[in-house]
Amino acid sequence: MGMEPADLLFEHLRSVLFPHGPPPETPNGLRPAGVMVPLCLRDGKVTVILARRTERVPHHKGQVCFPGGSQDPGDADLFATALREAGEELGIPEGSVDLLGAMEPVPTVTGFFIQPYVVRIPGETRFSLDDFEMAEVFEVPLSVFAEYGRYRCAETTFLGEGYKVYFFDYGPHTIWGATARILHRLAELAEGHLPSIDTVYSAGIR
């Protein structure tokens, strides 16, 4: 018996992502951070878990984000940072996380050097939000982010090089900055293992 499409996608990502290891050296002036990119299988679709920050947090007020944050002295590495923050912010149990691999780090104009870790979490996961940090959590089918024509893009210069800032509208949310950049790249990595755009439209996923 062959593997289900979702399982093929997860295994494909495991093969194209970087193994968990020391991230590249953080550029001068940037602060290392780790974020978790949680995927799960809901009703036959692979979805991405996203959250929206409250207006009370010191950084990225009201923005759509992944769980994560700056490395604490007690964190063994940035994956430990991502695990700790996902537990604190969304209540994701550390023991339920299946690491698929790491993506390329993303420097941000706000002064962070973000290391994303793509993980699979159980479909039955229920979230418990930190009321100070997180206003809401929501899910989006991963295939939606392969609709590249829906991205808006602004060009700027950062660290002496050209830098694209992506914006993606989904329902009432505008996903932008590092989060949109990570999602754009993740969709590229998943290429060939996602439903076609026609299938997405016919299923009524917007």
- Which one, of 16, 66, 21, lies nearest residue 39 by Cα? 66
So what's the pLDDT on residue 22? Answer: 66
115 residue type, one letter: Q
So what's the pLDDT on residue 2? Answer: 56
Q: Is the dihedral of CA 2, 195, 152, 61 positive or negative?
A: negative
So what's the pLDDT on residue 205? Answer: 34
Q: What is the pTM of this model?
A: 0.89
171: enclosing H helix or E strand: none
Instruction: For the chain, give the percent of residues with pLDDT over 90.
Output: 69
- φ and ψ at residue 71, rounded to 5 degrees: -70, 130
Q: Which two tokens stand for residue 65?
A: 């984000």
So what's the pLDDT on residue 201? Answer: 32
- Which one, of 67, 63, 70, lies nearest residue 36 by Cα? 67
So what's the pLDDT on residue 140? Answer: 97
DSSP secondary structure letters along 113-128: EEEEEEEE--TT----
Furthest-apart CA pair in the chain: how many Å?
52
Q: Is the Cβ–Cβ distance between 98 and 118 less than 8 Å?
A: no
Whole-angstrom Cα distance, residue 184 to residue 193? 15
Q: Which two tokens stand for residue 68?
A: 């994560």
So what's the pLDDT on residue 61? Answer: 79
DSSP symbol at 87: H
70 residue type, one letter: S
pLDDT digits (tens, 9 = 90+) for 25-65: 888 888 999 999 999 998 889 999 999 999 888 676 789 99
Nearest-10 Cα torsion for 73, 75, 78, 84: -120
What domains, with CATH codes, occur in the chain?
Answer: 5-19+29-195 (3.90.79.10)
So what's the pLDDT on residue 136? Answer: 96
**Total Cβ atoms within 10 A of residue 167:** 14
So what's the pLDDT on residue 137? Answer: 97
So what's the pLDDT on residue 108? Answer: 87
So what's the pLDDT on residue 26? Answer: 85
In the predicted model, residues of the chain with pLDDT beneath 70 are 1-3, 21-22, 58, 60, 195-206
